[in-house]
Amino acid sequence: MADIEDTNPADAALRAEVRAWLKANWAGDLPSDQDKWSLSAATRAWIADVFEAGWAVPTWPMEWFGRGLTQEQADIIDDEFARLGAPGARQDRSNLAANTMLAFGEDALKREMIPGLLKREIVQCLLYSEPAAGSDLAGVRTRAERDGDHYIINGQKVWTSGAAHAHYGMLLARTDWDVPKHRGLTFFFFPMKQPGVEVRPLRQITNESHFNEVFITGARVPAANIMGGLNNGWRVLQTALAYERSTMGARPRGARHSATSDDLLALARRYGGLTNPALRQDLAGVLALRKLNALNNARAKANLEQGTSSSVMSLGKLAMSRILHEEARVRTAIVGTESLLDGPDHPFADDTNFLAFNAYFTSIGGGTDQIQRNIISERVLGLPKDIEVDRDVPFRQVRSG
């Protein structure tokens, strides 16, 4: 990558500072971690160094571990870390839990939790969906009842990624049953490692078990762990979902055997597919969609203020879902009949099938493609909303099957 010349002296000084720090600290020898829930000690140590240097959340205020930089200045940091493939920077864009905590946590909770979240010492999961509340998260029935300085939690969550590793869960629970469904919810930072929390893995089509059912029976969470205030959980959830959708719209999972499988041009060269004009056209279409989606995500993130949500994030997530399915089709065409094989003895075929299966995760997780279309139609395009007959009914009176 060619050097970038900054016309602003302050920008040039910042770039020089980032480059000097990376030159002094980045060895480029981190192991390839299998998933984000069980990072290696070396990766955690590096991310801790990034945090201590102030690169983790550079747009945050200095009192909250940032540098108080503008988005444009922070993009310089992003550029320099990306040049070397170094992780850990710009979590002010990507760290769902830390960003939500900064916006809605009480100061004591933020000081206790944010450093661990940014250094990846604290693993968190999302306790939103339930068997009867997936597409309509406002219908959750997990119950939170006050008991002195704590709340007692009873209920069930499902499709919880990383629950077996998590120290805390971002829990949406019902605290008031006598108001309409959106107004009786509270958002908790819930301790997972305690009696009354049972995690059961769910086997996926990829033969992994990242998703889980979580059964909560009489477990406790301090009232001090409420984020955003009592019965204000729906607002907090919208911010958390915006960060989740922005991440899913920007960085899908990669192949598990070879980086060549992620690079469609490299894969096509390997299999001699670039001589096929129809395949070249498909490749050009996918690459154009990728570029367009990256520009849309950059626009959405630039407009996302701390503590808010952005409906435009749904565009990026929906687009990435469609892109991944289209890439799966093109990748299968490149690999050809070999894609009928599987396993480590056939790494490119295995990657092809793995990535095709994983495309469905993006179509479902963080709100299905259908939900994203509803959000886009109503909140971006301004089309009429669907009729919700139970929207203004006290939740205790809402019928359920």
Residues marked as catalytic: 244
Cβ neighbours for 4, distance < 8 A, ≥ 6 positions apart: 15, 79
Give the whole-angstrom CA distance, residue 67 versus residue 77.
11
Cβ neighbours for 189, distance < 8 A, ≥ 6 positions apart: 101, 105, 109, 113, 124, 168, 169, 170, 171, 221, 225, 227
Give the whole-angstrom CA distance, residue 13 versus residue 76.
11
Give the whole-angstrom CA distance, residue 205 versus residue 151.
37
Q: Cα 51 to the chain's mean position, in Å?
A: 19
- Radius of gyration (C-alpha) of the chain in whole angstroms: 22
Answer for the pair 316, 246: CB distance below 8 angstroms, yes or no: yes
Tokens of 57: 């959340």
H/E element holding 226? Answer: strand 226-227
> What type of residue is 147?
D
Give the whole-angstrom CA distance, residue 286 versus residue 352.
16
Answer for the pair 290, 383: CB distance below 8 angstroms, yes or no: no
Report CA-CA distances (Å) from 37 to 34, 44, 125, 129, 196: 9, 11, 9, 20, 22
3 state DSSP class of 359: helix
Answer for the pair 144, 15: CB distance below 8 angstroms, yes or no: no
Based on the number of CB atoms within 10 Å of its own CB, is 299 exposed (0-12), middle (13-18) or buried (19 or more)?
A: middle
Torsion angles phi and psi, residue 388, rounded to 5: -115, 105
Are β-strands 197-201 and 150-157 bridged in parallel, bridged antiparallel, or unpaired?
unpaired
Cβ neighbours for 80, distance < 8 A, ≥ 6 positions apart: 15, 18, 19, 22
Q: Cα 75 to the chain's mean position, in Å?
A: 19
DSSP state of 377: I
Torsion angles phi and psi, residue 198, rounded to 5: -115, 125
